[in-house]
Each structure stands twice: as structure tokens, then as C-alpha cells.
Chain A
Amino acid sequence: MAKVLEVKDLCTSFFTKFGEVKAVNHVSFDLEEGDVLAIVGESGSGKSVTSMSVMGLVAKGGKIVNGEINFCGQNLVGLPEKEMEKLRGKEMSMIFQDPMTCLNPVFTIGNQMEEVLKFHHKEMDKQQRHDKMIEMLEKVGMSNPEERLKQYPHELSGGMRQRIMIALSLLCSPKLLIADEPTTALDVTIQAQIMDLMRELSQEINTSIILITHDLGVVASIAKRVIVMYCGQIVENAAIKELYYNPKHPYTWGLLKALPRLDMKENELQPIPGSTPDLLLEMKGCPFFDRCEHAMECCREAQPPYYEVEPNHLVKCWRYHPDFKEEP
């Protein structure tokens, strides 16, 4: 299968008055056509910055300092803004976390959807654009699509707005859809519907998805591969089943233990102790060192490399060094 996206050694830093914050630190991953890749991690682990780097929308003060982002064979790093504008919304699009604030309150849904087609399909006339929008709204399961086009965002519920966002982002059948915590702000019942919708539509138009979330439960239902991020680094990269049945990194263990399950008794949820280290400080060893139950002396001293413990299962932890032996 063809690779849609190939991120190589990506580093994105924010330059603040206190110093450089390495929000994304040597991140590499691939995404194949039609696949769903999940990026999991705590707040501040760099998952959103990674996706914003791909979109070329890193917030003010941030900059891609190293690496390549190959999108359909084209390196996006250093691409002029005009070229990026042509890709955004057409070849790659994005759904955000909070549907309540993601649509412009002073324009109608129709106006905001039509804009995408005006930008990227200049050959379409008014009627064609209208038909396309109606078709898309029907696909995302909106009733009365004609009516919706005339409505303003505040007249719709959160779930409906997220459907609109999905319709909007898939209007041009993009090759890549980045969904940044698309269900976090929604009710649990709506969450499942939105996830199903995203999966169905992406299969229909053969869109690859990067799903960013901190909810491993959401991941299980949709993703094929999972990347676990911590402090701007990928600590584990595995196929979904591998990750759930054979997790290797102590941080992943922690995440899975912190996930509620139906067969769990009360008080069995285990939070990971401590909090993420300050990214302003230069790290010599493993960033998870302070919070890791299994930390060793070497973890403090040097960053572990990636070990391929199984085919296509990468872990960044000293425990998988060939010389490592479990202490008795």
C-alpha cells in the first residue's frame, strides 16, 4: 500500500522568553492509505503540535526546526504558505476538539461549507456547490440539510456541529484527515456515533485518519496502529492488538491501568504518579524516568534508543536492550 504520510525525525520547538520548548522531539511515523493511526498521550505530550506541524499551522512562536513531512511524496517542511493553502482543506483537513467554538458564529453553516468548495473547486458553479453540500450533510446524517445550510452554528447542538465539521472536512475528499480529540467535548452516547461516522466515511472515500486522543478506549474501536507519545517523543509504536495485548513501555502500562473497564472492581484504577517534566529543562535521560516504577540507573543517564521488540513494534525503553535482565 502507498504511504500517504511519512514523518521523519520531526522536531517542532516553541521559542519562549524562558527558552526553547521542544514540543515535538525527533518524531517519526508512517501512515498508509486508508489506515487509521492513533496518537495517544497526556496533555502536553506533543500530539496536537505534531498534527499542527503536518497541517503547517503551528501556533505563533513555534517552528519546525528539523525533519521532513512527506505528504504524498511532497515534503511539506519549508513549503511556501500559498502551496500549503492549496493542500489544506483539499488534500488534508482537520477536525478539532471543541465543536462549540470551531465554527464561526457570525456566518451560516452554508456559507462556511461553501467556502471550502470556493477555495478548492473553482470550476464548480453555485448549484453544484449547493448539491455537493447537501449530499455531504446527508452523508453525515443531518436531517433537513436544506434548512441546516441557512442556520447559524449556535442553533445546533454540539453533536450536530461536530457532524457539520466532519462534513466540512470531507467535502473535498481529502487524502488525510486529522481528528484532534474529536469526541472529547461530546456526550458518551454521541462519541460512539461520531467515531462510527468518521470510520465509515473515511473508508468510503479512502481517507487516512490520524486520530489524536488521550482516551485509549476510543482508540480501540477505530485505529489500526497506535503511537504513544510522552514529552514530545514517541515511546511506543505498535499495531492496535499488539499494544493492548502485549504493551511494552512502562508508560503504556500505566495508561492501560488508568483505563476503566467493565470487569473492574472499585478503586482498581491506577493513576500514573507524578506529572510530566518541564520541557524547558534539558533532559539527559529518559523523560519518563521520574515516574517510572521500573527505572534503572542507566535511565537517568542516557536516552534509550528504539528497539524493535516484534516486527513493526517499536519501544523506546532500556528494558529491551539485549543485555537487560529482570532483577529477581
Chain B
Amino acid sequence: MTKYILKRIVMSIFVIFLIATATFWLCRAIPGGPFDKEKPLNATTIANLNKKFHLDKPVSEQYVDYMVGVAKFDFGPSYYHINESVNDYIDRCFPVSMTLGVWAMIVATLLGIPAGIVSALKQNGWQDNILKVLTTLFVSLPNFVIASGLMYFLGIKLRLLPVSMWGTWKEMVMPVLALAAYPLSYFTKMMKSSMLEVLNSDYIRTAKAKGASNFIVIYKHALKNALLPIITVMGPMFASIITGSFVVEKLFVIPGLGQEFTKSIFNRDYTMIMGLTIFYSILLIASILIVDVLYAVVDPRIKLGKEGK
């Protein structure tokens, strides 16, 4: 197990190296530079700025410098925000995005799994039909529509919740719901189909033949098996919630990382783009690794470290 995890970490470092390289060169390939403004700055200023951020050096040298920095988890200074480094930004904004993402994930899991079970047990009943409509709706609606809808009804019409800012629980409810809508519906649908499949399997019949009550059949024998596919998607889903929260962050004026990420691309803030890309990849890789380890804990058939033999 430990050996497997170490192996995966080494592989991940290699992957991150590739991602860093690719983003570095792609950033340089985008036309325009960090100091191109609508009103052009004069040549000396640009030269000074370039010199300050070492952009006057040959690109290959910049690449080496940058990679050395990344190896030390130093993503360099922001070209756009004066006197702030990318690391400062991550330190300040990531906890906000993380809180938002974790809550959305908790809501999605805690509601999605029971909803999926209900949907499977009452297949074609009214509960299932309602859930079918709702999940299809929320899987297909983009989250800015959901966010605007929530703002309009809960915020403006009913005046229950504040429509923007971040901090108190009241301010958190709407962004969390808007962000959780997709994974929640997705988990419900997935849990339903997985539960239905498991309930038809032979070992469920065995459990019934042993005299197990309906409750034990569903919550012991079926549930653990039905959860396996959900656990598989949880890692990537979590990463995509965190990285994909920028629309919601923007709409609710939440000072998170996602918002900054989109801004940095327009600003050609090279170090910010690269730093956040690498940071997000580390996040994604880590969450997938955690899920793989978790998977082995739940499913005894999976033995980590023996694969490929």
C-alpha cells in the first residue's frame, strides 16, 4: 500500500512537470503580453517591467528559472497585482473556494445518495418520477442559471438570503446550492442505476434466501456495492467543483480562486495562469489518488500495488 502510494506520487510529479511545461509554452504562445494595455505604455516602462520580472531573458532561461521555482512551490510574483505573489493569492483565495467546494460536495453526497436509493426502491413510482424530472433538469441547467434563479426567488422575491458576499452561513447557502445542483443530480442518477443493478444481482437473492429483512438487504448488502461507482466519480467530481466554481464565485462576488483564474487569463498574468493551473492539477491528482485508496478500502477485490502483475 505505502509502496503503491509512493509510486503514484512519483508518477504524479512527472505529470505535474509535463503540465507545467505545457502551460509555460502555451502561455508564451498566446499573442499579447502582460503589459499590453489599451493605452500603450511607453517603451522604457515596458523595458523596466520586463527587466523586473526577468522577461528580457531568453525564453529557455525563463523556463528553467520558472521550473526551479515550481519545484520549490514558489510560483513567482503576479505580473498584474503589484507586490503580490501567486502564492499569496492561493493562500488567501483557496480556503474560500475550498470551503465552498467542500460544502457543495457534502450537500451533493448527503442528499444525492439517499435520493438515488429512494428512486431505485420506488422505481416508476411518484417519488421516482419527481426525482427523474428534477435530476434531468439540474444536470442540464448550467449553474449560472440556477444561481440566478436562486438569487431571484430566495434573494429578491422572498428576501430570505443575501444575494452576494461571503462569510456568514446565510451568504453561503445560495452559492453552495448552485454549485451542488449538478453533482447532486448526477449522484442521484448514478446511485439509482447502480442500486437497481445491484438489487438484481445473485447475492441479493442469497441474502433474501438467508432470511435477511428488507432493511438489511438494502442497507447492508446492496448499499456497499452500489456505492462503489459513486466513489469512483467522487474524486474527479470534487476537483471539477473546485476548479469549476468560477462562475458561481463571480455571480455571488465570492473572493475565491476560480474568479482569479479567469481574470488572470485576460490579463496575460503568466505566472498566475501557470501557478493556478499547476495548483489545480495537483488538486485533481491528489483527489483521484485519495479516491483510489478509498476504493481499495471499500472493495476487498481491489488490491493496490498488485496491479499490472
The reply to whether the CB of A166 lies closer than 8 angstroms to some CB of chain B is no
26 CB-based A-B contacts, threshold 8 Å = A57-B205, A57-B208, A57-B209, A81-B214, A85-B212, A85-B213, A88-B208, A88-B209, A88-B210, A93-B209, A94-B206, A96-B205, A96-B206, A98-B202, A101-B203, A102-B206, A104-B206, A105-B300, A106-B224, A106-B298, A106-B300, A115-B207, A116-B211, A152-B300, A154-B300, A154-B301
Any A CB within 8 A of the CB of B221: yes
Which B173-230 residues sit within 8 Å CB-CB of chain A? 201-203, 205-214, 216, 221, 224-225
In the complex, the answer to whether A105 meets B202 with C-beta atoms within 8 Å is no
The answer to whether A89 and B209 touch (CB under 8 A), given A104-B221, A106-B225, A154-B301, is: yes
- Find chain B residues with CB under 8 A from A93 CB: 209-210
Judged by a CB distance under 8 angstroms, whether A15 is at the interface is: no
Chain A residue contacts of B214, Cβ below 8 A: 81
Chain B residues within 8 Å of A102, by CB? 202-203, 205-206
| Interchain CB contact under 8 A, A105 and B301 | yes
Least Cβ distance of A80 to chain B in Å? 12
Q: Assess the B212–A119 pair: CB atoms within 8 A.
A: yes
For the complex of A and B, the 3 pairs showing the least CB-CB separation, nearest first, are: A89-B211, A89-B210, A88-B211
Closest chain A CB from B271 CB (angstroms)? 47
Q: How large is the interface on A (under 10, 10 to 19, 20 to 34, 35 or more residues)?
A: 20 to 34
Residues on B with C-beta less than 8 A from A116 are: 210-211
Q: B268-303, CB under 8 A of A: which get 1 and which 0?
A: 000000000000000000000000000000111100
Q: B301 contacts A152, CB within 8 Å?
A: yes
The smallest C-beta distance from B216 to any residue of chain A, in angstroms, reads 8
Q: How far is the CA of A101 from the CA of B208 in the complex (A)?
A: 14
**Which single member of B202, B211, B221, B225 contacts A96 (CB below 8 Å)?**
B202
A85 touches B201 (CB 8 A): no
Flag whether A195 is at the interface (Cβ < 8 A): no
Please tell me if A168 contacts chain B, counting CB pairs below 8 Å. yes
Chain A residues in the interface with B (C-beta under 8 A): 55, 57, 81-82, 85-90, 93-94, 96, 98, 101-108, 115-116, 119-120, 152, 154, 165, 168-169
CB closest chain-A residue, reference B224: A106
Q: Which residue of A lies closest to B207 (CB)?
A: A104
Listed residue (B206, B209, B214, B221) with the most chain A CB atoms within 10 angstroms of its CB:
B209
Residues of chain A contacted by B224 (CB below 8 angstroms): 106-107
Complex-state Cα separation, A93 to B207, whole angstroms: 11
A122 CB to nearest B CB, Å: 12
Question: B225, A105: Cβ atoms under 8 Å?
Answer: yes
Q: Which residue of A lies closest to B209 (CB)?
A: A94
Closest residue of chain A to B225 (Cβ to Cβ) is: A106
Q: Known: A104-B225, A105-B301, A154-B301. Is A85-B211 also a contact (CB below 8 A)?
A: yes
Q: Across the interface, name the chain A residue whose C-beta is closest to B202.
A: A101
Number of A-B pairs whose CB atoms are under 8 Å?
73
CB proximity of A171 to chain B, nearest CB, Å: 9
Across-interface contacts of A86 in B (CB, < 8 A): 211
Counting chain A CB atoms within 10 Å of each CB, the highest count among B203, B224, B225 belongs to B203
What residue in chain A is nearest B198 (Cβ atoms)?
A104
Complex Cα spacing A93 to B209, Å: 6
A154, closest chain B residue (CB): B301
Complex: chain A residue closest to B210, CB-CB? A89
Q: Cβ of B216: which chain A residues have Cβ within 8 Å of it? A: 115
B61 CB to nearest A CB, Å? 55
Minimum CB distance partner of A81 in chain B: B214
User: Nearest-CB distance from A284 to chain B (Å)?
Assistant: 35
Q: A103 vs B203: C-alpha distance in the bound complex, in angstroms?
A: 5
**8 Å CB contact of B203 from A87, A89, A104:** A104
Question: In whole angstroms, how far apart are the Cα atoms of A182 and B203 in the complex?
Answer: 15
Which chain A residues lie closer than 8 Å to B299 at the CB level? 105-106
Within the assembled complex, what's the spacing in Å between the Cα atoms of A41 and B299?
A: 38
- Contact indicator B211/A105 (Cβ below 8 Å): no
A6 to B212, CA, bound (A): 25
Q: How far is the CA of A96 from the CA of B209 in the complex (A)?
A: 10
Taking CB atoms, residues of chain B closer than 8 Å to A169 are 209
CA distance A88 to B206 in the complex (A): 10
The residue of chain B having its C-beta at the shortest distance from the C-beta of A111 within the complex is: B220
Question: In the complex, how many angstroms separate the beta carbon of B298 from the nearest chain A beta carbon?
Answer: 7
CB-nearest residue of chain A to B201: A101
Q: Taking CB as reference atom, which chain A residue is nearest B301?
A: A154
Bound: A102/B212 CA distance, A:
15
Residue of B nearest to A113 (CB): B210
The verdict on A115 contacting B210 (CB below 8 Å), with A104-B203, A104-B221 known, is yes
- A3 to B225: give the CA distance in the assembly, Å: 40
What CA separation (Å) do A86 and B211 show in the bound complex?
6
Please report the C-alpha to C-alpha distance between residue A286 and residue B1 in the assembled complex, in whole angstroms: 64
The CA-CA distance from A108 to B201 in the complex, in Å, is: 18
A119 touches B210 (CB 8 A): yes
B211 pairs with A120, CB closer than 8 A: yes
- Chain B contacts of A115 at CB under 8 A? 207, 210, 212, 216
* Chain B minimum-CB-distance residue to A99: B202
Known contacts A101-B202, A152-B301, then 4 further A-B pairs from the complex at CB < 8 Å, ordered by chain A residue: A96-B205, A102-B206, A104-B221, A115-B207
Distance in Å: Cβ of B282 to nearest Cβ of chain A: 31
Could you tell me the distance between the alpha carbons of A107 and B225 in the complex, rounded to whole angstroms? 10
Residues of B within 8 A of A82 (CB): 213
Q: How far is the CB of A70 from chain B (nearest CB, A)?
A: 20
Contacts of A87 in B (CB 8 A): 211
Could you tell me if B210 and A105 are in contact, using CB atoms closer than 8 angstroms? no
Distance between Cα atoms of A89 and B208 in the complex (Å): 8
Contact in complex: A168, B210 (CB < 8 Å): yes
